[in-house]
Structure 1
Amino acid sequence: MNRTPPSARTGNRRIRWPVVAGLSVVTAVITAVLGHQVPKSPSTSPTSAVPPQAPRGQHRDVPGEADGVVPDGVTVFDDAIPAVANLDPGLLKALRQAAKAAVNDGIEFGVNGGWRSAAYQNQLLRQAVATYGSEEEAARWVATAETSRHVSGDAVDIGRSDATAWLSEHGAGYGLCRIYRNEPWHYELRTDAIDHGCPRMYADPTQDPRMQQ
């Protein structure tokens, strides 16, 4: 077997060290360059970021009590509720007189609807069109803001069937009359009814000449 002379072995070791050192420097340079080129991952992903708030006024305002929306349990004596307090004074007086008399029969006059703002009435009309499928059919149940007796404060919707039954029998004596056959809850003031009885009812609001304005 041939042996490598000692001088040759020493020479090989002297050559390898510079090569190794050079490779180390090149590796370090490549790592540094790649480190600058590859962006760091963000600490928060887009899906977990908080979205910006929607600008004000983007959604339609929802009517509330100030527009005539009636909370549960309201009676004709609730002056703090605009739907009651903004009724025509004569109508409200007649309602309270009748309600006091009805108490003797164990009847309470709850209110489902009274005065309404024009905006609230228009919303109810839009809902009726969506429910009944046409403006013509919706008109049998909901008037426009321009013709509604609720917007003017001249109509009330009584909320309990025992109260409407009581008014059907005794309401004329207080000038309180049912106006439409399809709405047993809807009452208006007719002072002549005290002496002459309530006028003949319309089949529905579309038969009422006041709704044709």
Structure 2
Amino acid sequence: MNSTTSTARRARRIVWSAITLIVAVIAAFAVQQSLAAADAVLSHSFTAGPGSDASTDDSAAETSAGAASIPPGGSVLAPSDADGVIRDGDQPTVFDTDRVAVGNLDPALLDALQRAASDADVPFLVNSGWRSAALQQHMLDQAVISYGSAEEAARWVATPETSLHVSGEAVDLGGLPTLDWLAQHGAGYGLCQIYANESWHYELRPDAVTQGCPEMYADPTEDPRMQR
């Protein structure tokens, strides 16, 4: 075999290797794009609790138990935006009062949230605020299915009659930087975490400004207000 033939064969091998590599890269990119598109569809769920930014805080427990299965249009069995549904990726801030989940909050709570958000260096995203009784019932029904019993569901989702979200007196916030800021500074605005198992759930306690936040309940089943 002469050197010319050997060189030609080496050149062909290099060309085919390059073509194979290019094809592999294109195929991998196509697969990646397909998976990204699938993830985008799957992640277009609704948040009704956990806060946040649901992808970065622990409120996924309440979210998956509640509004994640609600379709965009809403129906008698699946509440819609007018019921306070907030979709993942479309969380309002505490200043977006045109969204009923924010605008229907108790005025004193909303004022405290807005003052705190103005002083903080992180955005106050609302994963769930005011909820209609229909949305709360839907969440409770889904929680019973998800957790397997009404007793376990009660640790995460209240009834429409007892829910502080239905009365506009509670808000679920996210993500982690916001919750960390509130853990350090929230009491100065009367904003307190109420349940140890729900780091995203905040209510207004005006006395906390001078006395600090009260001791947390382990979960809602220890809260006397949930026994009404």
TM-score by length of 1: 0.70
Match of 2:98 among 74, 77, 80: 80
Q: Does 1:201 align with 2:219?
A: no
**Contact 2:79–2:85 under 8 Å retained in 1:** yes
Percentage of matched positions with identical amino acids: 64
Distance 2:128 2:91 in 1: 12
Match of 1:67 among 51, 71, 83: 83
- Please tell me the residue identity of whatever aligns with 1:67: D
Distance 2:76 2:123 in 1: 36
Distance 1:116 1:95 in 2: 17
Determine which structure has more spread, i.e. the larger CA radius of gyration: 1
Q: C-alpha displacement at 1:161, in angstroms?
A: 1.1
Alignment of 1:28-67 (within 5 A): 60-67=76-83
Cα 1:128/1:64, change in 2 over 3 Å: same
TM-score by length of 2: 0.65
Q: Which has the higher contact order (CA 8 A, sep 6+)?
A: 2
Partner of 1:169: 184
- Please tell me the residue identity of whatever aligns with 1:210: R
Structure 1 alignment gaps of length 5 or more: 1-58
Match of 1:159 among 174, 184, 201: 174
How many pairs were matched up?
A: 152
Partner of 2:148: 133
Large movers: runs of 4+ above 4 Å = none
Q: C-alpha displacement at 1:60, in angstroms?
A: 4.0
**Contact 1:122–1:145 under 8 Å retained in 2:** yes
- Please tell me the residue identity of whatever aligns with 1:101: D
Partner of 1:188: 203
Q: Does 1:212 align with 2:217?
A: no
CA RMSD of aligned residues (A): 1.0
**Contact 2:77–2:138 under 8 Å retained in 1:** no
